[in-house]
């Protein structure tokens, strides 16, 4: 699935991933492929993603919102 992480100042990440872990307002959660459409707010914490090849990457955020639809995830981070 395609993930885009953008902040008002820059685009942090764009690419295919196999899973993404997010700091949701109601607690952390993980999204895998073919997840149902979801919109959730995020709190301060760490986004960690696992790329298709198994590599891991992580980003520190202060908050934000995430939208997932049709295997496309957009994270609007602060």
Partner 1 sequence: MANLKEIRTRITSVASTMQITSAMKMVSAAKLKRAQDAITQMRPYAEKLREILVNISSTLEGSAEGVYSQERETKKVLIVAIASNRGLCGAFNANIFKAAEKRIKEYAGKEVQVYAIGKRSADYFTGKHTVFNSNAEIFNDLNYEHVAVMAQEVMDAFVEGQFDKVDIIYNEFKNAATQEVITQQFIPVVADENEAVNVNADYIFEPSKTSIVVDLIPKSLKIQFYKSLLDSHASEHGARMTAMHKATDNAQELKAELKLTYNRQRQAAITNEILEIVGGAEALKQ
- Site residues (vs partner 1, CB under 8 A): 6-11, 24-26, 29, 36-41, 65, 67, 69-70, 74, 76, 78
Closest listed residue to residue 59, CA positions, set 10, 8, 13, 19:
13
What is the C-alpha to C-alpha distance for residues 9 and 2, in angstroms, rounded to an integer? 21
Nearer to partner 1, 8 or 54 (CB): 8
What is the C-alpha to C-alpha distance for residues 67 and 51, in angstroms, rounded to an integer? 19
- Give me the least distance between CB of 20 and partner 1, in Å please: 14
Nearer to partner 1, 13 or 29 (CB): 29
What is the C-alpha to C-alpha distance for residues 57 and 54, in angstroms, rounded to an integer? 10
Nearer to partner 1, 6 or 50 (CB): 6
């Amino acid at each position: 699935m395609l993930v885009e992480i953008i902040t008002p100042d820059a685009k942090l990440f764009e690419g295919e991933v196999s899973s993404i872990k997010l700091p949701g307002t109601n607690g952390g959660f993980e999204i895998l492929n073919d997840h149902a459409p979801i919109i959730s707010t995020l709190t301060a914490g760490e986004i960690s993603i696992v790329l298709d090849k198994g590599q891991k990457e992580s980003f520190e955020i202060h908050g934000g919102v995430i939208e997932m639809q049709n295997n496309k995830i957009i994270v609007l981070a602060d």
